[in-house]
Chains A and B, each alone.
Chain A
């Protein structure tokens, strides 16, 4: 446990510095609010619209497709690298995995998850 004491001190010092900076600026800083200043800052231009923007579900579909195929690649690389060592046994283990992914891909395709303009 004693090994973690420096870490705890680091956290405490960090919290104190950040807390002190925020409280001191709010106490010491001059306050001269105008309507212009109180507006939300958005890259210097006037902000438009509401903060809740409805995004099309298509973006989520694409993101999920990406994640699925991305994770697949993560699992494929070690297999490819060790292909000679794992041999038929490795192929037999990877084949059901790939087959299940193909089933998922077919499902997405048939359900129209890949049609952007619809």
Chain B
């Protein structure tokens, strides 16, 4: 391996080697004699540092310029090193690092202190990066499974809890089913086009539209369309778009909260990276992108359903964690609007999705982190009632929670506002007026349930005799929240440079 290739792959190598080293450290470390637990909080810090180092390395390669590293092109199409990959590497590593920091506080507090959490998390991030980089359906599938296997285990991490086990089994069964659908679709697409790499698929589809009348072409076209439908269904499951969203609330609620944060942030970002790669890389010819015969109407319907159903149901939840789970489904709907906007201008649409994912990462990881902060052992803040009066008793915890919720709701000057602004701008640029109106109406519904948390925290007193949530004291959680809050305010005040990076990534 040449030095140049090492430099190009440094973000992935850092995460892989760091994860392997930390896994060995955890296995070799002597256990405390009195409890059957390993000292894992230190490993949380190590994992967070590894993942942040991966994010910094991605930034380094970004500024060095992937075009200056031609030997990395030898890995294409299995691992494409472009600005798109690097942008996602940064987002995914950052999401993973925040989850690791949250776990460092959460796991010991809830007596789940087992070191396995961190290698699973790290290797899931590796799979997620590979997923963002894959431009071949085969390596895409391997990466998808690498990412998912770790997350299935993380979901069932609370082994004693039936909720957590149910969530893991549900997620695993439905996830495997969706993966099987995807593979079946990939097989059909390969059968129809003779290619697994997306660029090759695209060129064959172009040739199909050139001689459309040929009966041999029309029968292969039928196979191709069935394959495309199956792949889109599999992708829809991973991004939890509405007809395929049933697993999401249960899996998110049953998983330990740091794992939920990771699923809502990094797994979703990786799934959107995969969606964009497949649609823009393989199916962006005029016929596949047309409103009469292609994927835009399907994804537009997903977007409308996802936003509306998720927001209406989220407003009826009594559990804050479940509300946040539905809110993350709703955000997938907003993101789908950006994906549909790629029909007119690929750069604007993709750029808005990428920038939205960046802001969404910090807001959602922060919101789940604030939920972790608001509950200590045996006194978890589960329902809205549990949060009553936190604003008076623990103003700092309530203040950060409010910041993240306002960012999710899209209130200026937080990062979430600019994320939504650019998705709306891209949608209007593509003349998607109906989608834009639905998005704006849904933002209003969403504001209701985000603000409801604020109302409980600041304006209500806990009922007499009700259990009162006590915020935990953990430097790890505090560090994660400070990082996320700084990012939200930073992007909110100066959105220019990160937006420029998102558009640059979309253009690559």
Contacts and interface: CB of A to CB of B under 8 A. Distances in A.
The answer to whether A and B assemble together is yes
Interface of A: 1, 92, 100, 103, 106-107, 110-111
13 contacts: A1-B219, A100-B20, A103-B20, A103-B24, A106-B24, A106-B27, A107-B23, A107-B24, A107-B27, A110-B24, A110-B27, A110-B28, A111-B27
Interface in B15-37: 20, 23-24, 27-28
Contacts of A92: 1
Nearest to B220: A1
Nearest to B21: A103
A110 B20 CA distance: 14
B116 to A, nearest CB: 9
Contacts of B28: 110
A9 B390 CA distance: 70
Nearest to B1: A92
A100 B27 CA distance: 15
B interface SS class: helix
Measured as residues with beta carbon below 8 angstroms from the partner, the interface class of chain B is under 10
Closest 6 CB pairs of A and B: A110-B27, A103-B20, A107-B27, A1-B219, A111-B27, A107-B23
A93 B351 CA distance: 36
Given A103-B20, A110-B24, 5 more contacts: A1-B219, A92-B1, A107-B27, A110-B27, A110-B28
Nearest to B23: A107
A107 B219 CA distance: 52
A68 B173 CA distance: 23
B329 to A, nearest CB: 34
B146 to A, nearest CB: 13
B142 to A, nearest CB: 13
Contacts of A106: 24, 27
Contacts of A100: 20
Contacts of B219: 1
Contacts of A110: 24, 27-28
A103 to B, nearest CB: 5
Nearest to B216: A1
Nearest to A107: B27
A58 B23 CA distance: 21
A106 B26 CA distance: 11
B384 to A, nearest CB: 40
Q: Which of B24, B27, B28 has the most CB of A within 10 A?
A: B27
Contacts of B24: 103, 106-107, 110
Given A1-B219, A110-B28, A103 B23 contact: yes
Contacts of A111: 27
Nearest to A110: B27
Nearest to A111: B27
A110 B24 CA distance: 9
Contacts of A103: 20, 23-24
Contacts of B20: 100, 103
Contacts of A107: 23-24, 27
A92 B2 CA distance: 11
A23 to B, nearest CB: 32
Nearest to B20: A103
Interface string B193-232: 0000000000000000000000000010000000000000
A62 to B, nearest CB: 18
A92 B5 CA distance: 14
Nearest to B119: A107
A113 B132 CA distance: 34
Contacts of B23: 103, 107
A68 to B, nearest CB: 14
Nearest to A2: B219
